[in-house]
Amino acid sequence: MDKEVVWFIRQSIIYFMLGTLLGLIFLFFPDAVSQDGISLHVHMNLIGWMSMMIFGVGYHILPRFSGKPIYNRKMMTVQFWLASAGMAGMMAGWLLRSLAVPGGNGILLVFGTLMYVSIILFVYNMLRTVKGA
Ligand code: HEM
Ligand code: HEM
């Protein structure tokens, strides 16, 4: 498997553990629930766990389904780093906001944008990979 695939799967499993742990903490300590805390939980699960697993499995499986190599491997590597930094930064942003520490908004804007660029790169690379398959 490509290094990026392995590390997407590893990160995904780590976010699954952290995201669901935060959900459990909400159940045990309802007073700790805040809108920013919920956003943190939601995105650790839906981007961290679900999307990262889909990125990793997508890069591995779609070229095999389409019988063609990944359209652009370099783009995959760039996308891996953007998504990894994007998710970690978004977590930090929501964490700071939920603790009312200043700076969370700016961090969210920067790393949310990185994450979005990574999504565009993934979409483009996968569309080109399956084109004409
Ligand atoms: C052990 C597993 C989990 C626990 C204990 C848990 C717990 C919670 C709790 C307590 C809330 C609501 C907070 C509130 O409004 O008071 C919540 C919200 C949410 N959770 Fe989880 N969760 C778990 C796993 C997941 C997973 C795996 C996902 C997604 C793949 C997920 C997606 C969401 C979403 C989208 C919301 C927000 C719903 C809304 O908009 O109101 N959760 N979770
Ligand atoms: C570039 C990527 C993304 C960014 C920057 C982003 C940002 C945001 C922001 C700012 C909010 C509102 C939080 C608030 O109420 O203060 C939000 C809510 C939400 N997002 Fe995302 N998001 C992204 C990707 C996704 C993806 C891929 C999913 C699902 C697969 C998702 C699911 C949700 C859900 C379910 C909510 C509502 C949570 C709630 O009940 O409070 N987001 N997102």
pLDDT in tens, 23-40: 999 999 999 999 999 999
Selection from 127, 114, 47 nearest residue 78 by Cα: 114
| C-alpha of residue 39 to centroid of ligand 1, in Å | 10
| C-alpha of residue 68 to centroid of ligand 2, in Å | 33
Using the predicted structure, report yes or no on whether residue 132 has a pLDDT greater than 90: no
Do 90 and 52 touch, CB atoms closer than 8 A? Answer: no
Among 31, 41, 51, the mutation site with the greatest number of ligand 1 atoms within 8 A of its Cβ is: 41
> Residue 53 — very low, low, confident or very high, per pLDDT cuts 50/70/90?
very high
Residues contacting residue 36 through CB under 8 Å, at least 6 positions apart: 94, 97, 98, 104
Using the predicted structure, report yes or no on whether residue 89 has a pLDDT greater than 80: yes
Percent of the chain with pLDDT over 70: 100
Six-digit token pair at 56?
A: 């990793």
Using the predicted structure, report yes or no on whether residue 121 has a pLDDT greater than 90: yes
> Residue 51 — very low, low, confident or very high, per pLDDT cuts 50/70/90?
very high
| C-alpha of residue 119 to centroid of ligand 1, in Å | 23
pTM of the shown model:
0.95
